[in-house]
Amino acid sequence: MENFTPYTSLAGGILLGISASILMYLNGRIAGISGIISGIFNNPSATEKMWRLAFIVGLIVGAFVYNHFFPISIQAREGLTTPLLVVGGLLVGFGTALGSGCTSGHGICGVSRFSLRSITATGVFLISGIVTVYVVKHIIGA
């Protein structure tokens, strides 16, 4: 096992749960990041657009402030060319829009509501991600 961080991961996860609880308790909305983003350009209401943008701003500022006090060292990766990043981003954007959710919306909010769709989606993207990494790392050997 490599760099396994059970305690900070659990603590960070609890914060994600608290965030999702606040958004549901106050605004009645699912804290699914892909849905929050796509709702900015799919929703005509100004209030809908504004709270979604506010969440995104908070997300960036929260991570920025944390990183300011406790710098996170992210090792540079080799072999990840711009075209590959673009293809990956397109797949994440198109896939989460078609599948109505990502790790947060399906994986956290949906699973805890016992939504069969979300539990299925979470299983599918986990398996698909695992297979992809297996092919890239162990078959192609990148």
Partner 1 sequence: MMNKILSALLAGSIFGVGLSLSAMVDPNKIINFLDITGHWDPSLLFVLGGAVMVTLVSYRFIFAQGKPVFDNEFQLPGAFKIDAKLLIGSSLFGIGWGLVGYCPGPVVASLGFGFEEPLIVVGSLLAGMLLHKALVKA
Site for partner 1 in 2-61 (CB under 8 A): 2-6, 8-31, 33-34, 37-38, 41-42, 46-47, 50-52, 54-61
CA atoms of 107 and 116, how far apart (whole Å): 11
Taken in order 105, 37, 80, 70, is the CA torsion positive or negative?
Answer: negative
Decide: is 133 part of the binding site for partner 1 (CB under 8 A). Answer: yes
Taking the complex as a whole, the smallest distance from the CB of residue 81 to partner 1 amounts, in Å, to 10
Figure out which of the listed residues 75, 78, 79, 140 binds partner 1, where binding follows CB under 8 A: 75
Of 44, 62, 78, 79, which one interacts with partner 1 (CB under 8 A)?
62
Q: 101: buried, middle or exposed (CB in 10 Å: 19+, 13-18, 0-12)?
A: buried
Q: Which residues, numbered 104-123, are part of the site for partner 1 (CB under 8 A)?
A: 104, 106-113, 115-117, 120-122
Taking the least distance from each CB to partner 1, the nearer of 44 and 106 is 106
- Give CA–CA dist 116/122, Å, rounded: 10
Q: How far is CA 8 from CA 2, 4, 14, 68, in A?
A: 15, 10, 10, 17
- Touching partner 1, residues 81-100 (CB under 8 A): 82, 84-100
- To the nearest whole angstrom, how small is the minimum distance from the Cβ of residue 44 to partner 1? 13
CB 33 within 8 A of CB 102: yes
